[in-house]
Structure formats: C-alpha cells, structure tokens
Amino acid sequence: MRQWGALVAALAACCALAPPRAAAAACEPVRIPLCRSMPWNMTKMPNHLHHSTQDNAVLAIEQFEGLLGTGCSADLLFFLCAMYAPICTIDFQHEPIKPCKAVCERARRGCEPVMRRYNHSWPDSLQCGELPLYDRGVCISPEAIVKADAADPYSQDPARCNPESSPDFPLDAGNLHCRGEVVDRCKCKTVKMGLNTYLKNNYNYVIRARVREVRTRGMEPTAVVEVREVLKSSLVHIPRETLTLHYSSSCQCPPVTVGDEYLIMGYENEETSRLLLIDGSIAQKWKDKMGRKVKRWDQILQGKARAAHRRSRH
C-alpha cells in the first residue's frame, strides 16, 4: 500500500503543475465486473475509448473475455481495465490516467499470436504508440502498485471460460467471444434528435451519408458509408467519398441499415483521425429538412460559444 500511496502523491504533484482546466466529472466507483479485482476502486468516464458510461464500457470490455481466458498475458486484464475503467483519484480528476506503454506492449506481445490464430489482429483502438513512457509522464503499471508476483485474479476463477483448454468453451473465431450460452445484452438507447441534444452533445461531425456496408466480424465493428454532404466537421477532414465509421463495442449502436441514407452525428478520435459512432451518437433516416435544421442549430451553438468566450475575457 505504500507504493499505492506514493503513486497517488506523484499524481497529485503532477496535477498541481498542470495548467488549470474546466471542471471535470467526479470519480465514481468501479462497477465493471472484470475490473473489480484491480488495485483501484474509483474510475472516471468518459474513458480512453470514449465510452460515456460504465454500462457501455462493460459491453466493450467483455469482448475480451475469451482472450483473457487463454492466459496469453498476465498484463492483459490490468491493461484493459486501465483503458476501460481508468483509475481516478480526488487529486487527479481532470483526465483519465493512461496505462504505461510497456504494459500495453507486454499484453500485445503475449496475446496477439493467439488472436492471429483466429484471424484477428490487435485492435487499432488499443495501439501502444500513443501511451506514455513510465519515466516520462503520468501513467499506471502493475509493478508500481501491486506485488510483481501477484496472481492473475482472472485465472483464479474456474467458472471463467478458458477456450484454449476447455472444449466446452471454444473461442468464436468471428469475434473472440467464448461460445456457449449467449445472452444478447445489446440494447441501443434512442437519442432524440433536437436542439437541446445538439447543444448538449456538441458533436464533432455531422454528415449525410448512405450506408454501403456494415462489418460486424471481429472486435471493432464498422460501418462503411458514402458521404453525400458534410454539415459539420472538426479536426478530422471528411471528404465526400467512401469512408469508415468505427463503433466502440461489438454492439452496433446506433444501428444502421445497408442501402439507407442517414443523418449521422458523432465524434472523432483526434489521435487516430477516426470518426466514431458511440454512446450518444445519432443515425436517423435522412429527410431534406434535416440539413436546414442542423445548420440553424450550428449557428446557435457557435453564438453560445462566442458569448461564453466574451464573458471569460471580462
């Protein structure tokens, strides 16, 4: 526990040196079952994968249950929890603390060969390159807060699926889930399109697009769309051509149908230049009046931003 206290103190010191930011959401207790064995019990949303609630993060992290059952890396569970349920302390709430680059690299080195046997590769959303080095930034690693010889809490539970050794729970080559009793937990929440929602959610991009393909195989479903009109964009350039939208879990929410045309509102991952379809995104069947509405709403949003900027200068 002395090591844990030292880490918190170090994080607090880093926070004191950081520039002031806008008020952030408070820490909340970890409710993701796979992560309750971690040496922290408080997290903060949105996480590093842009899940705004733990309910959505649960659906995403459970994609890795079959891979965890293989025991391919002692670092995998720690790394996943640091990404999906990042540690949050009272003194360091402004942004989630990332896992160290070395933790990601160890997890990938151990588990990617297993994934390749099932024709999968390490997910792009979990790339190690953007993560901080242990001695050059604030990050979290198991050796800093737990004993190096600590047992993997996942492997201690015999009820967990172990697809590499148990024929009763083979790994599904389609998505790396454990095959067996399947419970459909995907229930997409309907987001009502209106001015209040638009102002509150502050979408990074708004496009009119026709869906050409929905790819559900693997751990990162995508929708391939043909962009007809760009109504709003941010840092990621959106050409009027075919592009890919990335879901944040195996649940395709919001759902789209191949061949139909939609008004799509979503977010972007600045680090990877990806356009995202995540919790809070909107995909509604296109109607001609929608374009005029969005342009009017965007003018209101920009006016509010200018007014807030003027107030901050006085």
Q: Six-digit token pair at 239?
A: 């050409």
pTM beyond 0.95: no
Q: Six-digit token pair at 269?
A: 């991952």
182: in domain = no
8-state DSSP, 233: -
Over residues 219-244, mean pLDDT: 91
Q: CATH number for the domain including 228? A: 2.40.50.120
149: in domain = no
- Total count of residues recorded for the chain: 314
The answer for 50, left when phi > 0, alpha when psi is -120 to 50, beta otherwise, is left
Same domain, 204 and 303: yes
**Using an 8 Å Cβ cutoff, are 104 and 131 in contact?**
yes
154: in domain = no
Q: How far apart are CA 258 and CA 222, in angstroms?
A: 12
Same domain, 104 and 204: no
8-state DSSP, 178: B
Q: How far apart are CA 139 and CA 170, in angstroms?
A: 35
Q: How far apart are CA 115 and CA 73, in angstroms?
A: 12
Amino acid at 40: W
Where do we find the tokens 């209040």? 196
As for how many domains the chain has, the answer is: 2
What pLDDT, on a 0 to 100 scale, did the predictor assign at position 258? 95
Q: CATH number for the domain including 63? A: 1.10.2000.10
Same domain, 112 and 221: no
Q: What is the pLDDT of residues 166-217, one digit of tens each?
A: 544 455 555 555 554 444 567 777 788 899 999 888 899 999 999 999 987 6
Query: Is a pLDDT exceeding 50 seen at residue 44?
Result: yes
170: in domain = no
How far is CA 71 from its chain centroid? 23
224: in domain = yes
Over residues 288-313, mean pLDDT: 86
Domain coverage including residue 208: 195-312
Q: Six-digit token pair at 220?
A: 């990162």
Over residues 306-310, mean pLDDT: 82
Q: How far apart are CA 171 and CA 167, in angstroms?
A: 9
38: in domain = yes
What pLDDT, on a 0 to 100 scale, did the predictor assign at position 81? 96
Instruction: With CA atoms as reference, report the closest residue to 221 among 252, 197, 199.
Output: 252
Instruction: With CA atoms as reference, report the closest residue to 163 among 151, 180, 184.
Output: 180
Q: What is the pLDDT of residues 267-277, one digit of tens each?
A: 988 777 889 98
